[in-house]
A and B are shown apart, each in its own frame.
Chain A
Amino acid sequence: MGIYLPIAEISVNIFVLLAMGAAVGFLSGMFGVGGGFLITPLLIFYNIPPAIAVATGANQVIASSFSGALSHVKRGTLDFKLGGVLLAGGIVGSTGGIFVFGFLRRLGQLDLFISLLYVVLLGTVGGLMLVESVNALRATRSGAAPVLKKSGQHNWIHRLPLKMRFRASKLFVSVIPVLGLGAGIGFLSSIMGVGGGFIMVPALIYLLKVPTNVVIGTSLFQIIFTSAYTTLVHATTNQTVDVMLAFLLMAGGVAGAQYGAKAGQRLRGEQLRALLALLVLAVAIRLAIDLFVTPPNLYSLSGVDLT
């Protein structure tokens, strides 16, 4: 069944979009990520203009992270204070990102920049996660107890000034890296249409040493607001948010997410991480191929922004 998207201005198949949303929702529920990094490239493969895919991806991420954050509020595994500071940085980063987004769009290099960012970031994160999880799998197979980092260990980040206490995370740390991390994620969110969970979660765990149980809830909390802000700014400056497209993806997504979460409970942590790493790497490779393979047509058309 075809449906005409009012902003993307093309006709698409409604079931393909619902299935896409459900599949990504399933994976995001299973792995505890927003799924923006899957939705945006999938939309681009499905011929949705990249500018619209990014803005609509950000819109879709709100739904899945809001739904996820609700259950963390209920369980009390959400540090509002830490989330708030991350968010302050996020707003600044996001604003900068929107500016760069518009600039690249005018230059005609937006598609390239989005693809490159995806390849580099997904490739790095996927690669690191794969190495880490394979090591963990090997360790459990050989019977050795997994080595846990002691909470007393500190790195250079913990020597920075302007310290602040985050009670729920049992953390006393400088606000500089927290704001910086928030800003970085905000920047990526507005350019890539992702929530940034796949970077935020490892960064909070490994760099700031936030307890793992608080990480996902807090990351989801900050993602809701960063992607809401991104959606709002894209809607006002670029008019590239397609609510019809976003709604179809969300509808499929929220349903898929709940089943995914259930399926995820049957797998062990390191198995989940290895699978997620493979998935992330697969997306990165697919996008990298497009960058290097000779395109079927060297020419492309675009409208001129009448600003």
Chain B
Amino acid sequence: MAGLRAFLAVASLSLFAASSPGKAQTSPTENIQIGLSTDHVSITAGFSGADLTIFGSLENADPLVARQGRYDVIVVLEGPARPVVVRRKGRVLGVWINLESETFENVPVSYSVATTRPLQDVTDPNSYKQLSLGAANLYMQPADDTDSPATIQEFTAALRDRKSATGLYSENVGGVRFLSQNLFRATVRLAPNVPVGTHKARAFLFKSGLFIKESSAQLEIRKSGFEQSIFRVAHDYSFLYGIFAVLLAMLTGWLGRLVFRKD
């Protein structure tokens, strides 16, 4: 019922004639473009996650390479970065309580990946590391780097694991499809708890396992209408919001008594 309310469509036209004539004679470098028809997605009352479709195109694609399927595209939708505390429970007198913790600065709240093929088939781990592409290759900066590397590694792994479990970090293999030789469509998942804020959509083009080009676009995810108003008022006018919450409760109590009174 929470249908996709975000319609993102092609905005980029591959203007093959526009590339510089000097280069065009030899082997022109491929380029990748993604376009969003809208710069924002609204979350409304019925929102329970959605698939976001991003269209894109290749410029100067070599028809032969394309036919052999040696072009690969990885599209990433990265949420705003925020500091996160990871806590680990331990047993004290039989009770499970949070004992150790590690704070990380600038962790993307969400990270959805869509690829043409499984990540390990596109290129080698080293390239991913260099591009810091993929949830496993995101560098998480610990706030306190005096902790032992083993501890940091453990908490980083736990952080990724928790993010995947809640659907905030996701991977959609086969989520990028070529519609024609130079047109592709990527489907990335928006989790029901997708954070609001400025998200960055990035597309990476690979040719026979080699990174060629990157393109990016901004996307604003925000609460819309009623939800947005409530959220804004709760943060900007928190005192009035509190008064409103109290009065609403009293009104409901009073009306409830009038309507359902049994005495």
List the interface of chain A (C-beta within 8 A of B).
1-4, 6-7, 9-11, 59-60, 62-67, 70-71, 108-109, 111-112, 116, 224, 228, 231-236, 239, 241, 243-244, 246-247, 250-251, 253-255, 257-259, 261-262, 291-295, 297-304, 306
| 4 more A-B residue pairs beyond the given contacts A254-B255, A291-B96, with a C-beta to C-beta distance below 8 A | A3-B46, A70-B257, A224-B250, A235-B234
Q: Is the CB of B162 within 8 A of A297?
A: yes
Q: Is the CB of A291 within 8 A of B248?
A: no
| Segment touching A, from B67-75, B79-87, B121-129, B200-208 | B79-87
User: Inside 8 A of A292's CB, which chain B residues have their CB?
Assistant: 94-96
Cross-chain contact of A304 among B43, B49, B84 (Cβ < 8 A):
B84
User: Inside 8 A of B259's CB, which chain A residues have their CB?
Assistant: 254-255
B249 within 8 A of A: yes
CB < 8 Å A-B pair total: 197
Cross-chain contact of B85 among A111, A243, A253, A302 (Cβ < 8 A):
A302
Q: Is the CB of A302 within 8 A of B257?
A: no
With contact pairs A1-B1, A298-B89, A303-B84 given, residues A254 and B252 touching in the complex (Cβ less than 8 Å): yes
Q: Is the CB of B245 within 8 A of A4?
A: no
Cross-chain contact of A254 among B193, B228, B257 (Cβ < 8 A):
B257
Instruction: Give min CB distance, A119 to chain B, whole Å.
Output: 10
With contact pairs A6-B231, A70-B257, A112-B97 given, residues A297 and B165 touching in the complex (Cβ less than 8 Å): yes
How distant is the Cα of A159 from the Cα of B87 in the complex, in angstroms? Answer: 50
Cross-chain contact of B89 among A60, A67, A254, A295 (Cβ < 8 A):
A295
B256 within 8 A of A: yes
Q: Residue of A at shortest CB range from B89?
A: A298
With contact pairs A6-B223, A301-B86 given, residues A109 and B98 touching in the complex (Cβ less than 8 Å): yes
B150 within 8 A of A: no
Cross-chain contact of A298 among B47, B48, B88, B245 (Cβ < 8 A):
B88
Q: Is the CB of A9 within 8 A of B234?
A: no
With contact pairs A4-B47, A231-B242, A235-B241 given, residues A243 and B230 touching in the complex (Cβ less than 8 Å): yes
Q: Is the CB of A70 within 8 A of B87?
A: no
Instruction: Give min CB distance, B256 to chain A, whole Å.
Output: 2
Q: Is the CB of B238 within 8 A of A304?
A: no
Q: Is the CB of A257 within 8 A of B246?
A: no
Cross-chain contact of A291 among B1, B95, B158 (Cβ < 8 A):
B95
Instruction: Give min CB distance, B21 to chain A, whole Å.
Output: 52
